[in-house]
Amino acid sequence: MRVPLTVNGAARAAEARDGQSLLTFLREELELPGSKNACEQGECGSCSVLLDGALVCSCLVLAAACADKTVETVEALADGETLHPLQQAFLKAGAVQCGFCTPGLIVAANALLQRNPEPSDLEIREALSGNICRCTGYGKILEAVRSVASGRA
Amino acid sequence: MTVAVRPRIRGTVGESVERPDGAPKVRGEFEYASDLWIQGMLHGATLRSPHPHARIVSIDTAKARALPGVRAVLTHADLPNEETFGIMRSDQYPLARAKVRFLGDPVAIVAADDVRTARDALRLIDVTYEALPAITDPIAALQPDAQPIHDKGNVIDAVHLVHGDPSARADVEVEGEYEVGMQDQAALGPEAGLAIPDDDGGVTLHIATQWLHEDRGQMAQCLGLPEEKVRLVMSGVGGAFGAREDVTLQIHLCLLALATKRPVRMTYGREESFYGHVHRHPARLFYRHGAKKDGTLVYVRATIALDGGGYASSSPAVIANAACFAAGPYRVPNAEIWSVGAYTNNPPSGAMRGFGAVQTCFAYEAQMDKLAAKLGMDPVALRRMNALEDGDHIITSQPVAGSEPVSEIIRRANALPLPPAGHRSALELPGGAGNLTQGEGVVRGVGFAAGFKNICYSHGFDDSSEARVRLERDADGPIAYVHTAAAEVGQGVVTVQLQVARTELGLERVIVENADTTIGSAGSSSASRQTWMTGAAVKAACDLVNAELDGRARDRGIPRERLADLLDTPVEHRITYRHAATEPRNPVTQNHGHVAFLFAAHRASVDVDLGTGLVKVVQVATAQDVGKAINPVAVIGQLEGGIAQGLGLAVMEEVILKDGAVKNASFTDYLLPTFLDMPPVVADLIEHPHPDAPYGAKGVGEPPTISSTPAIVAAIRAATGRALNRVPVRPDDIVFGTVALSGWTIVAGMDPRAATRA
């Protein structure tokens, strides 16, 4: 079926296959590969996007269920050449290694800071516990999110 | 006299530098192998054996080939030759011939117009198997009467190491049997690649790998092509940790592209990834330590049985490493070690961060604690008094030299501040959001461990890395291009190359080009070796560039600082770096098999809920000998990330096998440490430069994963009093005190091929 929706502020539409996830719809039909395919069952958060403002694992959402909805992906965060403060903070803190989890983590951290601009360390850990990072051990990610939360980025 | 004033160059060696691939990664624009796309490409899929051990009676692909949209269906009968592949021992056909040796062994491959059609076609391939008895116990597989899984039998390799007088008498003795479960590297990026047929009959493969040139050699052999017609280009790598050392889908992709004359992409799903790549070797270890009354170690005797699975992969080197590092970073005058790896019908084992040193460290550090308890000594003091010092010999008779601050590491790790007692939230207690306790029944424990491992390749391997540095000028002035084949797998070798070139050339504008096979091999991004090897290669190439610039400056009478004026033509040099030669293994000792060693120590603090057996790691403190921190923020990232994987092996991560099948091939069932599982890390970097390494930098990737696991388990033992002889520790082991025994009687130090049933 044809699915019209708003992605990163632009009206888009494409044909979704039966049972196609929002993740593969974004990656393959809309050519937005920033959301990543790591576990494809909602465990790792690499595919995190905002759907009508709510943080979801796009691998668990049917593309067909997104008709007329609004999706924001990692590709929406930078303002042209200027990186989003969280993107800058991840770079500066060394929170990026292989980077496969990074888009999902930045989307999830952004969702956290939108609802809680000054989270405690424990609140950061809890809010991002659905995003698995295999490289960093999370310490530098905590540092990055903390620096934006307190406006020190 | 004039003093040349040069602008300060930012981002040189020793500074914390942002990675050059970081901006595309945070934007979601970095192209990983699974993001590759080209017009007109086909999609590949793999049919795998549903049996751990079976004879292939027949394969009928007619129905699959007849499915609309299917462009190729290939089995062993379609291969160009009868060649095999394998990183250390060539023992695997690209597609199974006559027999499958593990559940997941590739049998057929398909290329189709889309992924769904490719997968539908797999279901239409009709394979008739005759099931054979499966051997899944490595010690059983090693016995002389075991059915052979490969023609040459089930012993992949057996290392017998004798040092001093292993029958020496000791005042105090301790012994134990230990088990290490199978750990998955669990890189988030799935195996993926894109093969494009070339006009000359060759093929170009875009691939996420740890070692382009090793892949190329194995591929060319199986594709029946000369190496120059097999071109590899590094694609974005979503983590590796050893899992990308072996060929997985490389040959399959190229076979399909050559058969269809179309580009073909393949990406494993998570479940297939568990079957598609090798894992850390499960191990059974039998140890006996002897010491004098004052704590001085007298001997170590050990028997180590490693489960290699269906194919050898890098088992021979893992087996050798397990033997070499079996006694730990301690002065051990007498030792006898048998380290033997078996073919079984389990999924193959191979490289994972720590590479044989992880399994033994869990056992010998448990032994050191047992010894300390029996002697009534402080476990940290016991380790310090036996710590290797300059000029001491490890049990392969190789002296340690250059940089080996073992005692200092142990002292400094133990001197780091302990975490505060108590907790601020129930989330910080064992069980976390499960809200299983409010703190009642929770006991704090502290444990300590130290470990060591080789750096770079060993045992006479011709270990090298080639670098090319080109200095030219463009409209904005001088600019340098650095090219190597070193695999950037997330660890930051791309940043190291940038920093080295900036430092040596005195120039900030440096571009590190993407790795490919148009330059010589850089060796693998493994064995903690790329900072040393490719760092040294880039440095040496820069030295040649600088020498030529100095000559130009002298010949032309132009000051060296007027760089742009010297670059009317580019300066380009290419050089291959080799570390000092190592000796090949010999049958009984291993001689000087390694070029250098890495050391680390960890102290873990844990809270354990005695009622549920759940563990919360509260803090890990570490001191590590890094030689020189080229990029300190990246070094800390390696330490913290490695500790997370060590924590995973200690209390969470295990590939659960039953009759050769993986029972938890998903991230729902294979538990990886999350943000809430990982505690704060307190780290003390010890920078004793190694005289042979570039800037003294030793490489840092593996030690964090080696001794963090035994430190955490020691802390759980301290909290619970349980023996805990296996990892990962399960709640049952804590609550009920279960002990994991192999069912075999093995006296530590004997050949496991002579084991008897207990």
Contacts of A44 in chain B (CB under 8 A): 188, 667, 672
8 Å CB contact between B353 and B702: yes
Count of helices and strands (H, E) across chain B: 18, 28
Rounded distance between C-alpha atoms, residue B680 and residue B89, angstroms: 41
Contact A139/B at CB under 8 A: yes
CA angle B7, B12, B18 (to 5 degrees): 115
Which parts of A80-132 are beta strand (E)?
A: none
Cβ pair B619, B637 in contact under 8 A: no
Closest chain B CA to residue A125: B675
Residues in chain B: 758
Closest residue in A to B433 (Cα) is A126
For residue B292, the distance in angstroms to the closest alpha carbon of chain A comes to: 40
The predicted pLDDT at position A77 comes to 98
> Is B433 at the interface with chain A, CB within 8 A?
yes
Token representation of residue B648: 């995973």
What is the C-alpha separation between B281 and B303, in angstroms, rounded? Answer: 15
Give the span between the Cα atoms of B520 and B59, in whole angstroms: 41
pLDDT band at A44 (very low <50, low <70, confident <90, very high): very high
Q: How far apart are CA B592 and CA B582, in angstroms?
A: 6
Amino acid at the residue B113: D
Kindly list the residues from chain B whose CB atom is less than 8 angstroms away from the CB atom of residue A37: 34, 190, 267
Distances (CA, A) of B370 to A112, B290, B305, B365, B718: 47, 11, 22, 9, 11
| Euclidean distance between the first and the last CA atom of chain B, given in angstroms as a whole number | 84
Residue B691 to residues B319, B701, B751: CA-CA distances in angstroms? 29, 19, 39
**Does any CB of chain A come closer than 8 Å to the CB of residue B43?**
no
| DSSP tag of B92 | B
Instruction: Give CA B727 to chain center in angstroms.
Output: 18
| Beta strand residue intervals within B382-532, DSSP E | 442-455, 464-474, 477-484, 510-512
Listed residue (B184, B185, B190, B183) closest to B238, CA to CA: B190
The C-alpha atoms of residue B47 and residue B59 are separated, in whole angstroms, by 11
Scan residues 71-110 of A and list those with Cβ closer than 8 Å to B.
73-75, 77-78, 83, 87, 90-94, 96-103, 106
Q: Is the pLDDT of residue A69 over 80?
A: yes
State the smallest CA–CA distance between residue A83 and chain B in angstroms.
8
**pLDDT score recorded for residue B402:** 79
Task: Tell me which residues of chain B have a pLDDT lower than 70.
Answer: 1-7
In this complex, do A139 and B680 lie within 8 Å of one another by their Cβ atoms? yes
CB atoms within 10 A of CB B120: 17
Q: Which two tokens stand for residue A68?
A: 């007329």
A138 vs B644: CB contact, 8 Å cut-off? yes
B239 touches chain A (CB under 8 A): yes
Average pLDDT over chain A, rounded to an integer: 96
Q: B264: Cβ–Cβ under 8 A, 6 or more apart, which residues?
A: B41, B42, B43, B44, B111, B194, B195, B253, B256, B257
Residue B3 to residue B599: CA distance in whole angstroms:
43
What pLDDT score does A86 carry?
A: 98
Instruction: Write out chain B residues lying below 8 Å of A93, CB-based.
Output: 633
Separation in Å, CA of B354 to nearest CA in chain A:
15
What are the strands of the beta sheet with B596-609, ordered from one edge? B442-455, B596-609, B614-625, B681-686
Flag if A136 and B640 touch (Cβ within 8 Å).
yes
Can you give the length of chain A in residues?
153
CA B408 distance to own-chain centroid? 26
Indicate whether A153 pLDDT > 50: no
Q: Cα-flanking dihedrals φ and ψ of residue B394, to 5°?
A: -80, 180
| Cβ-based neighbours of B108, under 8 Å, separated by 6 or more | B46, B47, B59, B61, B73, B74, B75, B95, B122, B125, B127
Q: B398: which residues sit within 8 A by CB, 6+ positions away?
A: B590, B591, B592, B593, B594
Cα first-last separation, chain A:
44
Measured distance CA(B315)–CA(B342) in Å, rounded: 9
Contact A74 B27 (CB under 8 A): yes
What is residue B1's predicted lDDT score, i.e. its pLDDT?
Answer: 44
Interface check for A124 against chain B (CB to CB < 8 A): the answer is: yes
The pTM (predicted TM-score) of the whole model is: 0.97
CA atoms within 13 A on the CB side of B381: 8
Q: B214: how many CB neighbours lie within 10 A of its CB?
A: 17
B21/A27 touch (CB, cutoff 8 Å), yes or no: no
User: Rounded to the nearest 5°, which phi and psi values hold at A48?
Assistant: -60, 135
B residues 465-524 lying closer than 8 A (beta carbon) to A: 489-492
A29, B25 contact by CB (below 8 A): no
> Residue B99 burial by CB count (10 A; 0-12/13-18/19+): exposed, middle or buried?
middle
Contact A100 B32 (CB under 8 A): yes
B461 touches chain A (CB under 8 A): no
